[in-house]
Amino acid sequence: MAKQLNEKNSVFIFDTTLRDGEQVPGCQLNTIEKIQVAQSLESLGVDIIEAGFPISSPGDFNSVIEISKSVTWTIICALTRAIEKDIDIAAESLQYAKRKRIHTGIGTSPYHIKYKFNSTQDEILERAVASVKYAKKYVEDIEFYCEDAGRTDNVYLARIVEAVIKAGAKVVNIPDTTGYCLPEEYGAKIKFLMDNVKGIQNVILSTHCHNDLGMATANTISGIINGARQVEVTINGIGERAGNTSLEEVVMIIKSHKELNIGTNINTKHIYPISRMISSLMNMPVQPNKAIVGRNAFAHSSGIHQDGILKNRENYEIIDPKDIGIDNNIIALTARSGRAALKYRLNILGIELSQKKLDDIYEEFLKLADYKKNINDDDILMLAGKDRTESNRIRLEYLQVTSGVGILPVASICLNIAGEKFEAAASGNGPVDAAIRAVKQIIHRQMVIQEFLIQAINKGSNDVGKVHMQVKYNDVNYYGFAANTDIVAASVEAFIDAINKFVE
């Protein structure tokens, strides 16, 4: 059970990884994975989980229902537009939530009013008030968002905020939807509302900042300093376009700067495990230099820095790695490591497996450890992710490629489709092209590879390579991911991963 926060000296953490974060192309989760994330967010200590946008799809609707059943004390929030049907569906999706919130709203900037709604300020205000009053039929906890508040005139914004407070909103969200504001500008916007809106002392102002200009965290902190007491964030800062405000950055800034005299409910020791879990489930690598959770966040290569760290960690580290769940005494994984060591590392990365799945991954781990000298966290996550693909309808049975200087590349392939094996061979401009052509001979669909990205996890010719692929089929883009020490195999597996998402 979370402690009750004092609104003046604490900040409520509103996590939207499962809604705004999941809008990243290729990062969609199934319901089981969403439940896993939601339960981990509850263990982390977030106060509100925005579980989805229920009217957007049956999958989102069902996910909100199942997440509501699986979470105990955290408030479950469903997003809507200022439309009665949206609100009806959201209320239905929240029927099993122990604590529930409807998050409704509308665009308030001149851009949205004129070009998105072809409306007027007065009409938008009327729709805002009506949506809050309608949502109050279902729940008491109503949050209202003023979309594109960052580019909304402060005087008009204050009118909207005051009106929705009077209508019954408990939380008012002031999003910098386009990431346009400067920190001083965004902080001044929050302060203007705090100073000029009647009834503001009875509600919570929330920040929701995007990172288009790299200022999401700075804007969020500026909002807190000026009176906001809820922050809307995502794990690893994932989200549309350049992403959202990063949960781990805001929480650790608050923890590091005692002079702010502000607290949160977050158990920071869970930050690193959930960061890696989200990275793995969403097939979205964390950039090495990412603040707090990046691979290099606590790495020191400079001799001067290394000397300083050895003498006193605080010479060059303002955060103790253990505070975010990184164990300094990491057990090195090699071909001689046992199942217990592998299980320990998987648990640190936020992955829990049955004994059978652990045994299966362990066999793959030994093969990889024999091939590579150093096994890192990304390798372990790759193995765990590979295990999740075993239930796919289409699986790669074998791949053989012949290529070289002066030789036409030829690929022979065998696919297992729902238990039946199919073989094909093809030539191409290179080994990857030949292998992809062979797959297409078996899978007779009009599909086009739109994007093909290869990324090495570390340096070295024997390293694991990650492949991200975007495949267009029937005018819809599908995303595939794979990792393998053989880059041709990884490319084929990523292609098949995408195909599995549209083949009936």
444 is in an annotated binding site: no
- CA dist 385 and 381 (Å) reads 6
280-319: burial string, b at 16+ Cβ within 10 Å, e else? bbbbbbbeeebebbebebbebeeeeeeebbeeeeeebeeb
Decide if 269 contacts 325 (C-beta within 8 A). yes
Locate 290 and state its tokens: 């990412």
CB atoms within 10 A of CB 202: 9
Strands 75-79 and 171-176: unpaired
Locate 270 and state its tokens: 């869970």
Where would I find the beta strands (DSSP E) of 343-442? Answer: 394-404, 407-417, 420-427
CB atoms within 10 A of CB 376: 17
462 is in an annotated binding site: no
- CA dist 427 and 442 (Å) reads 14
210 is in an annotated binding site: yes
Helix intervals (H) in 199-334: 216-225, 247-256, 271-281, 303-311
- CA dist 496 and 504 (Å) reads 13
Alpha-carbon separation of residue 147 from 39, 100, 104, 190, 322 (angstroms): 29, 22, 10, 15, 38
Locate 298 and state its tokens: 């606590």
195 is in an annotated binding site: no
Residue 100 amino acid letter: K
Residue 471 amino acid letter: V
Decide if 372 contacts 464 (C-beta within 8 A). yes
Give phi and psi for 73, each to the nearest 5.
-105, -25
Feature table: binding site for Mn(2+): 20, 208, 210, 244
Feature table: binding site: 20, 208, 210, 244
